[in-house]
Amino acid sequence: MHVEERYAVCPAGQRSSNCSRLEVQRTGQVDFRIEWSKTVCQSCPLCDPCVSTGQDHRTFVVGALHALLQGRRLNWEARQASDVDRVGLLAVCG
């Protein structure tokens, strides 16, 4: 997912064909709707697990802060793993 560049890549490696900026006028919240071409999805072997029931192509919505949140989540996970390593080391060497 590349919100800043306004595209995503699906599990089959296909780049999205459309990215729409959605803004809620009342709150100013910005989301992005990412979509893939129907032709690409319908000919793909991963179509069934990838495309939601009742849809004919892959589409999803992410918030404008998606990349920032993903970066923070990865940072937090790395710190958690580091803490586990330290606790394990203390148990062995302690």
**pLDDT tens across 57-86, in order?**
998 888 776 565 666 677 777 777 665 555
Question: Which residue range is the domain that position 78 belongs to?
Answer: 65-94
The domain total for the chain is: 2
**Tokens 């892959």 sit on residue:** 58
Same domain, 55 and 71: no
pLDDT computed for residue 84 by the predictor:
54
What is residue 16's DSSP assignment?
Answer: P
Q: What is the pLDDT of residue 13?
A: 93
Judgement on whether residues 9 and 35 belong to the same structural domain of the protein: yes
With a CB cutoff of 8 Å and minimum separation 6, the contacts of 22 are 30, 31, 32, 33, 61
Q: Are the CB atoms for 66 and 3 separated by under 8 Å?
A: yes
pTM of the shown model? 0.61
Q: In what order do the strands lie in the sheet with 30-35?
A: 18-23, 30-35, 59-63
Query: Is there a single domain that holds both residue 55 and residue 76?
Result: no
Residues 44 and 70 in one domain: no
